[in-house]
Structure 1
Amino acid sequence: MQTEKINLTQYSHGAGCGCKIAPAVLEEILKTNETAAHFPSLLVGNDSKDDAAVYDLGNGSSLISTTDFFMPIVDDAFDFGRIAAANSISDVYAMGGTPLMAIAILGWPVETLPASLAQQVLDGARAVCKEANIPLAGGHSIDSKEPFFGLAVNGLVNNQQLKQNNTAREGDILLITKPIGVGILSTAQKRKVLQPEHDGIAVKWMTQLNKAGALLSSLPGVHAMTDVTGFGLLGHLIEMAEGSGLSAELNYATIPVIEEAKTYLAQRIVPDATYRNWNSYSTKVGFETGVNVMEAFNLLPDPQTNGGLLIAATEDAVEEIQKINGDAVIIGKFIPAGEKLIKILA
């Protein structure tokens, strides 16, 4: 007798990086009146909205430390482990570093879902860690109402090659290394309207490691870098612009979009997190006449899981960036700070 297939997404209310707390709510949570202790060796910490913490080791290099976890974004347990692992490791690459070691974080409803599925999640994570050439060296698990999984990852970076998300310069070109739209495809799957021929497309992008970040960090013309995750392209670009004291022009027509996601975008099949994202930062965005505002509203805040790298670089560095990562596409540039943080051009 064939065992009924278990679809993991039916056991969680959120999906992937769409589980993230909305930017405005997160800002309220992190707000404090306490005086922070000063640690001279902490190069990147809570005072910025960067991808990971960075601690100077005093020998010309720094330790990168990050953690990320979320609820299932796909039904297959092995793929869920792969996606969660790739997404967690991405924060190290986004800082220009090389991952060193990972520790697993697992929550599992042991009375609802079999332990054998959790084992498949871990196997998926091991496969991606092997691809990144790091050990999955241990971890911690709890019995939880909903399944969730992720990694705590440490990495190393040469201090001269550390990349942050708040160091863009006026005139820098903005590039992205992956198309957006995985949140839309994942929502179509969760709602059981994903066309059979579109199965696996989102997984392909979400399991692709952002290894280019470690190579791009050696380019002097690369001034800032981050990865696009739960706040969507707009949210993470806002963090870059705001942190750098600049505004950015985004050329809507050049933004790469997963072609198959457009089918569901036209039907407004989008994650709930898209609206939470937009409500958190809509006042910081302006549209040029000619932009399809309704489409942009449903697309640009789309939460990505292990999305591409956003790169701020000099025009002279673009050719070398595209040699390292052939998928890198120019989508805008940084300009002097204006009334709106992001200006979306047709």
Structure 2
Amino acid sequence: MLVGLGKPDDAAVWRLDDDQALVVTVDFFTPVVDTPYEYGAIAAANALSDLYAMGARPIFALNVAAMPANLPSEMIVEIMRGGAEKVREAGAAIAGGHSVQDPEPKYGLVAIGLAQTSDLITKANGKPGDLLVLSKPLGTGVTTTALKNGMCSPGDAQQAIMWMSRLNRLAARIALENKVRAGTDITGYGLLGHALELAEASQVGLQVWLSSIPFLHGVVDYARKGNFPGGSVDNRRFFGG
């Protein structure tokens, strides 16, 4: 085991031989948008992003689904189709999965990938002088909360959906080509939470300039109106902000 509970990261890593490692993650969540297909695509892209963040290439995935008994089968099919097509876009395949009944829909993937052991990207490999680079603009949590509250414009909603469902494949390829060895996937803990994890694991400090952070259109206005996801309150309390 190269990466496991002893040094938590975006995925677990098991050495196969001197050159290759198996990279495995699981991720799922409740709907963040109203359209089933886009929900499935976003959930799949989110799970696959853990592999890309570790420098791995997705090879296959398993569906993880919890659906209400009264949810129309057509909606479930669309969720699964969105996930399957996103996995196919990543060059991988859905190989199976598991489902249960639950009052609130939940969908995601167990995602499995391969990585060269010499190319692994982890939270613990940061070095003084490294630059922090974001592959996507921030603010999807605020935008989707504004959408749920009926305060998000259609254009801003579509922009957020586009970014959330976009694979980090190109960013991962560029990172590997430039021999990046430290990184992480920014999701539930937000930029500061995940940056703190990276800094602590690498035993370095981080400087972040607010003016340099890319945000989705409309995010600042939505935030000023109080459209924060529930997890942001927990994050602030946990990380001492």
TM-score range, shorter chain: over 0.9
Give unpaired runs (5+ residues) of structure 1. 1-41, 284-346
Percent identity over the alignment is 36
The equivalent of 2:153 in structure 1 is: 195
The equivalent of 1:97 in structure 2 is: 56
The equivalent of 2:185 in structure 1 is: 227
The equivalent of 1:319 in structure 2 is: none
The equivalent of 2:218 in structure 1 is: 260
Check if 1:120 corresponds to 2:78. Answer: yes
Listed one character per residue, the Cα deviations across residues 194-236 of structure 1 (whole Å, up to 9, x for unaligned) are: 223323111011001000214422433x230111010000000
Q: Map of 1:22-41 to 2, 5 A cutoff?
A: none
2:80, 2:60 → 1: CA distance? 15
Listed one character per residue, the Cα deviations across residues 171-207 of structure 1 (whole Å, up to 9, x for unaligned) are: 2111111110100110011112222332311101100
Check if 1:53 corresponds to 2:12. Answer: yes
1:268, 1:191 → 2: CA distance? 10
The equivalent of 1:339 in structure 2 is: none
Q: Which has the higher strand share?
A: 1
2:65 pairs with 106, 116, 124, which one? 106
Listed one character per residue, the Cα deviations across residues 8-39 of structure 1 (whole Å, up to 9, x for unaligned) are: xxxxxxxxxxxxxxxxxxxxxxxxxxxxxxxx
Q: Deviating runs (4+, > 4 A) in structure 1?
A: none
Which has the larger Rg?
A: 1
Q: Secondary structure at the match of 1:223?
A: coil
1:272 pairs with 215, 225, 230, which one? 230
2:160, 2:232 → 1: CA distance? 17
2:42, 2:69 → 1: CA distance? 22
The equivalent of 2:206 in structure 1 is: 248
Q: CA deviation at 1:268?
A: 2.1
Listed one character per residue, the Cα deviations across residues 25-78 of structure 1 (whole Å, up to 9, x for unaligned) are: xxxxxxxxxxxxxxxxx0000112310000000141000011100100001000
1:210 pairs with 156, 168, 189, which one? 168
Give unpaired runs (5+ residues) of structure 2. none
What code does the residue aligned with 1:116 have?
E
Q: CA deviation at 1:124?
A: 0.3
For the 8 Å contact 1:67–1:151, the answer to whether it is kept is yes
Superposed CA RMSD in Å reads 1.2
The equivalent of 1:14 in structure 2 is: none
The equivalent of 2:108 in structure 1 is: 150
Q: CA deviation at 1:141?
A: 0.4
- TM-score normalized by the length of structure 2: 0.96
The equivalent of 2:28 in structure 1 is: 69
1:231, 1:52 → 2: CA distance? 16
Size of the aligned set, in residue pairs, is: 240
For the 8 Å contact 1:105–1:152, the answer to whether it is kept is yes
For the 8 Å contact 1:100–1:134, the answer to whether it is kept is yes
